[in-house]
Amino acid sequence: MTAMKLILTPALLAAIRKQPGLPRHTWYFITATTLSALNRPDELPEVFKNAIGEGSGTTGNSVPSRDYQLHISRRLREALLKASAVGGMPKVGRPRSINALMSLKSATPEDLLDEPGMGTSLRHRDIHDTAPAQVLERGQAFFEAIYGKISRRIMGQLDRSGAPDLGLLARLTYGYVLSNTDVLTPAETSFVLIASLIPQDVSVFLEQPRRCTKAMCNADAKL
């Protein structure tokens, strides 16, 4: 079997890392999200290695601190999890998000993994300690922040798709998955959605999120 051509060449990786249009500390999870959407989980370990390597100066030596490595690891996992909301299923085979997360796990040291029973789930509080109406309201607010003036029309299309539960699925996804900002900010989450949608060539869903993401980034910069 012929090996697949490498997408993330050293030159491309260097260009992405130096891209002036990207906010700081976002290149690695945006790149990972795009590779996942392209169903190229095999290239995620290289992204992880380079992202971790950027922290080598945080401790005064060549080894990044464990806190920094854990921070990067969790941001990558969260991005891939959120990307599954819009680009998780390939044409054939297992969900792309599963392929991507398993590939990332294979490159992640055990002490940087969040395993079941460790109490590190970001959404345990949302599921067990928060009223569903509150979570859904948060999700609706995030949906409106993403789609702006066309948010009502988009949700209406989902509700009238012939499968009314499609709208329910969107509300649950935005509430319990996408609007959680414990690891990624709203602007960073919007970057994840855009990075996952572009490879799927669904431009009709991209114009408004791009505009809203710019506004979110400006808001983040003021914090």
Q: Return the domain boundaries, the chain.
A: 1-119
pLDDT average, residue stretch 44-69? 83
pLDDT tier for residue 213 given thresholds of 50, 70 and 90? low
Model confidence pTM above 0.75:
yes
The pLDDT tens digits for 149-179 are: 888 998 999 999 999 899 999 999 999 999 9
pLDDT average, residue stretch 66-82? 96
The pLDDT tens digits for 101-129 are: 999 999 999 999 998 876 778 899 999 99
C-alpha closest to that of 146 among 196, 100, 74, 75? 196
